[in-house]
Chain A
Amino acid sequence: MIASIENKKTIPIQLEGEFQTLLSTTFSSEPEWLKEKRKEAFEKFSDAGIPTRKNEEYKYTDVRKVFSGKFTAIHNEAHKIKFPSPMGEGLWVRLIFINGWLYKDSTLSAKLPKGVIIGNLATDGLLNHSDLLKKYLSSDGDSLAQLNSALWTDGAFVYIPENIQLETPIEIIHISTGEKEILASPRHLIIAENNSFVNIIENNISLDLNSRGIVNSHADIFVGENSKAQYYRLQNDCKNVSLISSTNVVQEKNSHFDTITITLGSEWIRNNLSIALNGESCETHLNGLFITNGTDHIDNHTSIHHNKPNCQSNQLYKGILDGKSTGVFNGKIFVERDAQKTNAYQSSKNILLSDDSAINTKPQLEIYADDVKCSHGSTTGQLNEEALFYLRSRGLSVDSARNLLLYAFANDVLSTIKIESLKNYLEELVNSRLSPTLSKG
């Protein structure tokens, strides 16, 4: 229950107590520096409280509603679970987490190049590489990110040393189980040192369609000089698992970062994506596709900081909204005084399939340099009537024509996926989501 008094910053009552419990149990054997970090984070969270609609960043997204139920941060799962096989069976490395805890049967391939670490944060990371954690575990972010910084249990720890190109995709699967309502706090740390390559898929799923809960996830990603990282996020969780995902990316000189977020499930999702371009000549591409229905609500907030010159950023977010679903897109671009010759592009395109669906899109540009190229565009509308008629005039039914056009709309984003098997899997998924009967022929 939230004791809410108008204008007073509040947090769910049980969390304070649960945090103390966790400090003296689950987190008790952690090094002091980490416990301190957690305490600081919890304080920041308490001070700020759960965001309300009066908070500009959460104007269209009701977080309180999500945290108003009876949930608990105290849980410790060791399930015997069967889950669906990965898309690239045998070719990939999988890290599996259940409610934020490492599942001991994750497949960690033995044949990794020397120095590459793919493991979990709580043991591989904390016990063997605490120096890296000290250096890279960020304390940034809004109050929800702070909540994760206080409560995180486990997550992926991926370290790619200098000059190593790891082509093998790494799949981080987070599974929600939901006998009782759980607040899961997975935390991931990805470090790609100079001249390296890594590609990662983060997949949020539930096994039981009736699972309920909150997943408050946080990832820190460091892309070193001349490095390339691709980060795919699949959000196809079940209806009653709400997802908050904070991703914090720092890029050094000449690096390249691509991320694609495909949202097909869960009734409530808030994605916070923040990129800091801390070196010259970086390139970053943020793409997103969401398909919503019923009373789904999806909120994509992105923030790109051009701190150095000659960097290029590109954002393409596309949404297909039906039923009474609602979407939010807020794309911030900050161009610092030093960041001359910045190219920053942002595009938010949405199709509303019903009278009751809605999207709020807002670009925000703060530009302090004078030699830059920035543009933003947003379109919201229905399907192209001319195109629909053209297809029907060739014999396609209204449904077939509609689905063909919707698929074409979605494919703009799907086609940017660079892992072939993942792309094929998602094309099928999106196709069947748009129409159960239409096949790609």
Chain B
Amino acid sequence: MLSIKNLHAGISEKEILKGFSLEVKKGEVHAIMGPNGSGKSTLANVLAGREDYEVTEGKVIFTPPFGGRGGLNLLAMSPEDRAREGLFLAFQYPVEIPGVSNINFLKTALNEIRAYKKMPPIDAKDFLKLIKEKQALVELQGTLANRSVNEGFSGGEKKRNEIFQMAVLEPALCILDETDSGLDIDALRIVANGVNKLRSKERAFVVITHYQRLLDYIIPDFVHVMYDGRIVKSGPKELALELEKKGYDWVKEKLAVGS
């Protein structure tokens, strides 16, 4: 579904991604772990289409599972088109948007995605049903759903809101950018639970995380270690545990030694 080849990108003249490559097939859950400064957030933002970042080299091909579309040149697409084709980024620091109702914005988003796919807008009653159903998935109270986007939400509530939106919009490729940061164990469990309920054969996840803990709940198929702007080691889920035991320095040492 996602093919990243030799991606080089940076911001303000500084190169952060230095030849990042990754292949993600539908149905798979890939975890990307790395120390601070390895470029994890840059990766997420470049994939979502944030204009501050400049891509200097590389290709990203996104092949949505449905619609008969071939591989799409993701880097040439606007942020909204990427979303409409089925890419979703759960932000690390979701912004607060006072005055814009959570429900209203989601309905608009859903309808724009449907319009893009030449489908009619969703019926008001069906939408309400959908909202109720998805709210339960992340235990998001009715009151929160009715408020302004993320306004006054706690850290945990903001992250749950991201997963709630993911559930409503039903994307094909979900990128979770340090979704576990700032969460206590209970919030973590609820968020992970929501994500797990969304796993399917047609959907793929890229879970970016600093700590192994999240991966106890969202069990990955592949773990990649990111360092200095690229993947330096890949392995099965056990790699995450090894990393936790030995720390990131272990990886740095291995690289230095060249083994």
A positions within 8 Å CB-CB of B: 384, 386-387, 389-398, 400-401, 404-405, 407-409, 411-412, 440-441
Contact = CB atoms under 8 A, between A and B. Distances in A.
Nearest to B104: A441
A396 B49 contact: no
A73 B241 CA distance: 87
Enumerate the 5 nearest inter-chain pairs by beta-carbon distance, A residue then B residue, closest first: A408-B99, A395-B83, A394-B109, A392-B79, A386-B95
Contacts of B32: none
Interface string B16-58: 0000000000000000000000000000000011110000000
B169 interface: yes
Contact of A408 (B78, B98, B112): B98
B100 A394 contact: no
Contacts of B100: 387, 391, 404-405, 407-408
A409 B88 CA distance: 26
Nearest to B113: A395
Contacts of B108: 396, 400, 404, 441
B116 A395 contact: yes
Contacts of B48: 393
A390 B91 contact: yes
B203 interface: no
B97 interface: yes
B111 A441 contact: yes
B109 A387 contact: no
Given A389-B51, A396-B108, 6 more contacts: A387-B97, A389-B79, A392-B49, A393-B48, A395-B169, A404-B104
A387 to B, nearest CB: 5
A390 B97 contact: yes
A411 B91 CA distance: 26
Which of A395, A397, A398 counts the most B-chain CB atoms under 10 A from its CB? A395
Nearest to B96: A387
A395 B108 CA distance: 9
Contacts of B159: none
B142 interface: no
Contacts of B95: 384, 386-387, 390
B210 interface: no
B98 A393 contact: no
Contacts of A412: 99
A396 B109 contact: yes
B94 interface: yes
A367 B62 CA distance: 63
B107 interface: yes
B44 to A, nearest CB: 11
A39 to B, nearest CB: 51
Contact of B105 (A384, A386, A394, A398): A394
Nearest to B127: A441
A384 B95 CA distance: 10
Nearest to B97: A387
B97 A389 contact: no
B147 to A, nearest CB: 12
B42 to A, nearest CB: 15
B125 to A, nearest CB: 13
B209 interface: no
A395 B97 contact: no
Nearest to B107: A441
Nearest to B48: A393
Nearest to A411: B99
B230 interface: no
Which of B49, B79, B82, B106 counts the most A-chain CB atoms under 10 A from its CB? B79
Contacts of A390: 91, 94-95, 97, 149
Interface in B89-139: 89, 91, 94-95, 97-100, 104-113, 116
Contacts of B88: 393-394
Contacts of A398: 80
